[in-house]
Structure 1
Amino acid sequence: MAKDDLVNVEGKISNLSGGGIYSVTLDNGVEVAAKLCGKMKRFKIRVVVGDRVTVGVSPYDPTHGLILHRQRI
């Protein structure tokens, strides 16, 4: 599935699990497990608990996502 097919939603990092998996609470109250996208890993962008992020969620499996953007505060 291409990155263009993902549904972009806003959320907040609520927990950090092992292996680079983040728990993200979306604005609608749903909890998803998300990983960092490749560009965030490449440019070493750090994400900590409490950050606002944009998550790309697949329409086929809405429980997993991909962190696409960390928003500046």
Structure 2
Amino acid sequence: MAKENGVEVEGRVIETLPNATFRVELDNEHKVLAHISGRMRRNYIKILTGDRVLLELNVNDLSRGRILYRYK
């Protein structure tokens, strides 16, 4: 997924799944499956249930995305 091919949206983590995968509910109440970006993995940023996050959705498959940022 190239950076220019994504749509950025905000959401809330509702479930933690294995292999750094999360189920995220968007502000419009859609649910997507997301994994953390390499930068977050490299800097050991932890994501917990209930965290607000910034996602980049895949334009080809809007049910999958990548977590780019965790809001404080």
RMSD across aligned positions (CA) = 0.8
Distance, in Å, in 2 between the alignment partners of 1:15 and 1:29 is 14
Q: How many residues align?
A: 72
- The superposition leaves residues 6-25 of structure 1 with CA deviations (integer Å, 9 ceiling, x where unpaired) of 10000000001112110000
Matches of residues 1-73 of structure 1 in structure 2 within 5 Å?
1-72=1-72
Structure 1: segments with no counterpart, 5+ residues: none
CA drift of 1:5 comes to 1.8
Report deviation, 1:27.
0.3
SS at match of 2:28: coil
Matches of 2:44 and 2:21 in 1, distance apart?
16
Show structure 2 runs of 5+ residues with no match.
none
Please list the CA deviations of residues 25-68 of structure 1 after superposition, one character each: whole Å capped at 9, or x if unmatched: 00001000000000000000011000000000011100100000
TM-score normalised according to structure 1 size: 0.94
Which SS does the other structure have where 2:9 is aligned? Answer: strand
Separation in 2, partners of 1:64, 1:41: 18
| TM-score, normalization by structure 2 | 0.95
Report percent identity of matched pairs.
Answer: 36
